[in-house]
Structures are given as C-alpha cells and as structure tokens.
Structure 1
Amino acid sequence: MVKIYATEERTLRVRAPVSEVHAFFLDPQRVREVSADVESFERLDEHRARWVLTEKVEKGVRFHADYTVEYQSEHEGHVAWRSTSGNMDVDGEVKLSSVGPQCTEICYRETVGPDLPITKLTAILFKPIVARELRQDIVRFLDRVIARLGGAPD
C-alpha cells in the first residue's frame, strides 16, 4: 500500500455572507449535499463524519475510500478539517473574508492522500495520473459549492 498525495488550492467568491459560508463548511451534512461519488455518509457527532466513497477503478487499480473526518473552527473566518482514521488522509481548510455586502472570498486548500494497493515502483508511474484525478475531483466539488452558494463576480 502506498499513499499518493495531491493538493489543490483555489480562491473563489460566492454571493453569501461569511457567516453562511462558515456554517456550510463546518457542517458535514451540508458538505455531503454537494459531494459526488458518496456511497454512504454517517454523521458521528456535530463535527465528525464517516465517508465511504464509490469504488474507483483506474488502470486496473481499485480504491474504495472509507475514512472519518473531523471539522473544526476557532473563529468565523476559518474552518479546518482532517481525517482521523481510515484509508485516505485528508487535510484542508478554508479562510473566509468579506469582500462586500453578502459576498465572501474563500481561500480553499485541501490535500488528499489515498492509500492505494500498489507497489512503490508502480506509484512512481501512477502519481501524475492519480494526483491529477484527485485535484480534478476537488475542483468539481468547488464548482458545486459555487453553484450552491451563488457565484460572485471577481
């Protein structure tokens, strides 16, 4: 088993106040509503959730993500999350700032690292493909966030 990590960082604006965007990212159930490829979702408590994603098969490699994520916030302009168990490392955060009435800028960063059933040598070959796919999944998720919260002009 080898982990391949990918990080995506993106800044976007939505037509929603900071308080609404903060509440969205801090609530695993609301995040689940715009997440794709979720086989099952279990809210464990107010800020923890277990995610099981649909199995992916790419180039003969199978991966069925099953992990628990904890969501935290120390103040309204920041939400962080990280995996606490399972077969995929997840570490991310959003930094939120008001950029006008009912408009929020989101600085989003997330790193994911699935524990793939491949050798280290195979990982060298697959790393660019897997990393690109992981980053594309994050971008598609953010596109759904914008659609849910309302896109704002730059």
Structure 2
Amino acid sequence: MNKIDNPVGYIFSQSQGNLLSAFQEVKEIMPNETYWQTLGEVWNRTTVIRKYHQQWKELLTAPREHAQLFMTKQERKVFYRLPSIVTVYQIHDPLKNHHDCFSYNIDENQVRSMAQGTKLIKIRVPVQKIFAYVNYQNRNEIIIL
C-alpha cells in the first residue's frame, strides 16, 4: 500500500506490533483531524503502550489542533462530563515505574478484578490534567500526560 497516497491504509495494513512505527513514518503528511483520529485508533489496537512511553508522549503532546478527536464522539461526551477531580486506579507493580504510565482506569471494580490480589494505586487528579477518556473494549481508561 502506498503510504503517501493512503497513509491511514498504510498504517493499518501493518501488523499490530508495527502500527506505532508506521504511524510515525506518515504523521507529517496527515492533516490534524486525521492525525488525532488515527492516533486514537492506533492506541486502541496497541497492547504495549508503556514500552514505547517516549514515542507516545511525543505523539500525544504534538502541537496540533483538534486533539479531542483522539476520542470517539461517545468518549468525548463522557470526557466533557467528568468531575473537576477524577479518581483513577491502576494495578501497582513494584517492578514498573508508574511515572512512565499514561493509562489509568476510572472503574475501581474493573481494576480490582484484573489485579488478582495485587495492590491498587488510587490517584485523585484534576480533570485539566486528563488528556482523554477511552472506552474501547469497555476499558474505562483515562490517559494522563
């Protein structure tokens, strides 16, 4: 697939493990709206976010307009209704640096069910620090940059 004529098609013709690098190859030729919508979809299809923390941080903080398009229309509705202070949760892993993490969850029960007895991290964060709400596959995910 031609990455110049069809950058989005090019990205999603790659294997799951290569989506992020394919996005980085063509990001400069995408208009802002396409950039954010496509990056949101790449996020949803990528399973190893923390491993590529620096690359994600650069992409998520790109000085481009329309960053809200990272979220779907339904996700934006939830995002705009979040309270001024949001309580988020994450499974505590003593072997991982939690400062390198973007992804948290607003559903304590969902996190507890995945934790399998492991401790949880609970954080109260101002809504202004939240980049996005993602509910792909019912994740109830909050992205904090």
TM-score, with normalisation over the residues of structure 2? Answer: 0.23
**What TM-score, normalized to structure 1?**
0.22
**Between structures 1 and 2, the one with greater helix share:** 2
Per chain length, whose mean CA-contact separation is higher, i.e. which structure has more relative contact order (CA < 8 Å, sep 6+)? 1
Richer in strand (by share): 1
